[in-house]
């Protein structure tokens, strides 16, 4: 089992940047597929970005491609989401999640979730 804690959210103006972190407990972090998801008020939770175990292959939702970068530091048991050129529509609670197995963007296939961190982008 793994416990996840997000940090780094906040209020930023449109066009600005934020870096989110997801700290994981346990000794087997490198074996987990990791993902970032977000949920805006009144909307369903959606996939943002994912990173595989091992080689750390990355994949993104079309809405953030070219603006967001997902990465992981297995030595620090931490995953990151660098968010640049932020837009008001990026406003949401951002969650990190983990699973064993193949990389996927499907929310239902992730087993472990953090508590979320709020990102607010003002226009």
Nearest by Cα to 117 from 84, 92, 88, 94: 94
pLDDT given at position 54: 74
Band of pLDDT at residue 68, cut at 50, 70 and 90? very high
Asked if residue 1 has pLDDT above 90, the reply is no
Greater confidence (96 vs 54) lies with 96
Write the pLDDT tens digit of every residue in 78-115: 999 999 999 999 999 999 999 999 999 999 999 999 99
Over range 2-19, report the average pLDDT.
97
65 backbone dihedrals φ, ψ, rounded to 5°: -60, 130
* pLDDT in the model for residue 65: 98
Alpha-carbon gap, residue 102 to 27, rounded angstroms = 19
- The reported pLDDT for the residue numbered 26 is 79
């Amino acid at each position: 089992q793994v416990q996840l804690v997000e940090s780094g959210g906040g209020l930023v103006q449109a066009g600005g940047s934020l870096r989110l972190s997801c700290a994981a407990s346990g000794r087997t972090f490198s074996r987990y597929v990791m993902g970032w998801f977000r949920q805006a008020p009144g909307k369903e939770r959606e996939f943002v970005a994912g990173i595989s175990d091992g080689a750390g292959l990355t994949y993104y939702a079309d809405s953030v491609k070219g603006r967001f970068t997902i990465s992981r530091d297995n030595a620090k048991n931490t995953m990151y989401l660098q968010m640049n050129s932020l837009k008001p529509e990026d406003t949401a609670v951002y969650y990190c999640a983990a699973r064993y197995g193949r990389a996927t963007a499907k929310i239902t296939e992730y087993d472990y979730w953090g508590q979320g961190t709020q990102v607010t982008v003002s226009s």
